[in-house]
Amino acid sequence: MKHIKTCALVLCTSFMLGTLAGCHSAKEPVSTTTAGSETITSIEIPTTVESSEASETSTSNEYIIVFDNNAQEYANTFITCFAGNYFKNYEKGKASLEEYLDFAFAYLKYNTNDAIGYKTKGEVSYQTITFAQAMRVAGDMFGTLLKEEDCKALPAPPTTYGDNGDGPYYEDGKIWFMASDGEEQNCIAIVDSARNNLDGTITLNFTVYAINMKTYLDLDEEKIKEYCKMTSDKAQADKTLEKVSTGTATVGVTQTGGYYLISYKTEKSGT
């Protein structure tokens, strides 16, 4: 199975959170703690650039950011981690524990070769990640600290299929999901514009594109990386890309210049 990669980061897959990890009904928001700029960083996204490498144009109380090539690639890569994986709308402080765990599982399933464990309980086959891995992803991507005590309140993985959901379940320091097959994920996100909100956050307006599947299947890793370097104008003109949706994300910016997601919303394209 082939996955989108940029640098050491495999650019994203099944994250509209229900795609591979199972859909969940609305749940109470998880109790979270904002992680500071020293949050564990295990995910290799292109290095962010210093502020001098992206110019800002003042318009009343906001700044429009004009990205250089490196900053454009970083922004595209970060948002693709969500958009390319069909991530659903998100607002920090309102997401449930299950949503964070769904994201972490799918992220690790497609971004690493050895993060997923394989277990069987009774007649059910499972794929697992450790709580520590889930905590790292939540910290890196959302600036949120998950608590293992909350995970321990999840049900244990059942031994029969029945009417049970796909997960998440918890046992022995691991997060369990019923095993499922993956699928080709050929979507990328291109940031069209960015605004400095002057409060430590940036608003990113983006478009999600699907790479033509015939083209995508013929691409190697280096050629796929080129897509995440595209500007908005280049993406619009590229005949191998089909517009899927548009969206807006607010990201926090750490002291080292990295992003973490605060809010995210997409709308299907009418074209």
Summarize pLDDT for 221-271 with one digit per residue, the tens: 788 889 999 999 999 999 999 999 999 999 999 999 999 999 999 988 765
How confident is residue 71, by pLDDT bands cut at 50, 70 and 90?
very high
Most confident residue range from 9-18, 34-43, 87-96, 241-250: 241-250
Which DSSP state fits 89?
P
Q: What is the pairing mode between strands 55-59 and 174-178?
A: unpaired
Q: Is residue 20 scored above 90 in pLDDT?
A: no
pTM for the full model?
A: 0.78
User: Cα torsion at 175, 177, 183, 188 (round to 10°)?
Assistant: -40
In CATH, what is the architecture of 54-88+186-268?
Roll (3.10)
- Give how far Cα 260 sits from Cα of 43, 67, 156, 249, Å: 12, 18, 31, 10
89: nearest Cα among 244, 232, 262, 258: 262
76: nearest Cα among 247, 251, 229, 236: 229
Share of residues in the chain with pLDDT > 70 (%): 74
In angstroms, rounded to a whole number, what is the distance separating the alpha carbons of residues 20 and 15? 8
pLDDT digits (tens, 9 = 90+) for 134-148: 999 999 999 999 999
Q: φ and ψ at 134, to 5 degrees?
A: -60, -40
Q: φ and ψ at 245, to 5 degrees?
A: -160, 170
How confident is residue 31, by pLDDT bands cut at 50, 70 and 90?
very low
**Residue 243: both structure tokens together:** 């517009």
Residues 61-74: what's their mean pLDDT? 87
Residues 17-36: what's their mean pLDDT? 35
Contact call for residues 235 and 207 (beta carbons, < 8 A): yes
Helical H segments across 143-184, by residue range: 148-152
25 pairs with which residues across the strands?
none
In angstroms, rounded to a whole number, what is the distance separating the alpha carbons of residues 1 and 137? 23
